[in-house]
A = this chain, B = another copy of it.
């Protein structure tokens, strides 16, 4: 019987890099006891440098009751590191043989009901869990860098992962102050990296063609779409910008623009089904709020974001 996700007190973070250390800092700030496993004690300085850098920001965001850096234990003994673990976040190097060795060991030495989440950004959990004797509790919990600040965690299982483990991980991450998004399909790059990568590749095309410099691209993003995207994402940004008609107006009016060469990326066919999925999704997010209220809310937040992003510190 798996421990209730809101009863977890002790988290183990595996990995000495910026992701493992970032996760450790995050869980400390949320008031957990954290044991960090480093493959080599010589990595401790580098590891602590990330935690120490993160801490003032985490204080500013607001620590949970009882949160303290004193509740961090560091060890290079994997059995000790995982002995009392009630949740394990694994951020080992992104090489399949390393991960598979590790999961084989974790399968042997850890209690079989403890959920193990991998920070992997590219390896399928189906492959990672292949060597583990208890694969049903292994999930992907992919953070966005820096993981102590950006709340996103993308959650998906492998072929042998149970729904119960995925549900538990979604609940646990939400309780632990993250914003988990559960993927519907195992796609390369998950959601956030795919969106970012499309933009990034278009940026590289522009530089390759002499159409823009890196500085042009960064200024265009910082002073154009990014502040709005931080408030509303992209679907709701269009939904609210189109007034009373919302996303339906956007797609019905600008649908033909999907055929224009505004990027090197070909758009999908705008079928009735896709149109409805976009419109229904935006209406659900709007929760009945009037577009003018949402626009006013957006504007007040953009003002604060422009100041936060650009004013002298």
Contacts and interface: CB of A to CB of B under 8 A. Distances in A.
Interface in A193-235: 193-235
A245 interface: no
A25 to B, nearest CB: 11
A300 interface: yes
A75 B144 CA distance: 51
Given A183-B212, A210-B184, A258-B204, A192 B281 contact: no
Interface residues of A, number: 111
Contacts of A292: 53
Interface in A264-280: 264-271, 273-274, 277-278
Contact of A218 (B185, B214, B235): B235
A282 B247 CA distance: 36
A302 interface: yes
A229 B234 CA distance: 13
A268 to B, nearest CB: 4
A144 B273 CA distance: 30
> Which among A149, A215, A233, A266 has the highest number of chain B CB atoms within 10 Å?
A233
B181 A220 contact: yes
A254 to B, nearest CB: 10
A273 B210 CA distance: 11
A57 interface: yes
A61 interface: yes
A109 interface: no
Nearest to A230: B226
17 contacts: A53-B296, A146-B299, A185-B210, A191-B206, A192-B220, A195-B225, A198-B198, A198-B201, A198-B202, A213-B277, A214-B278, A221-B230, A222-B229, A222-B233, A226-B226, A226-B233, A300-B313
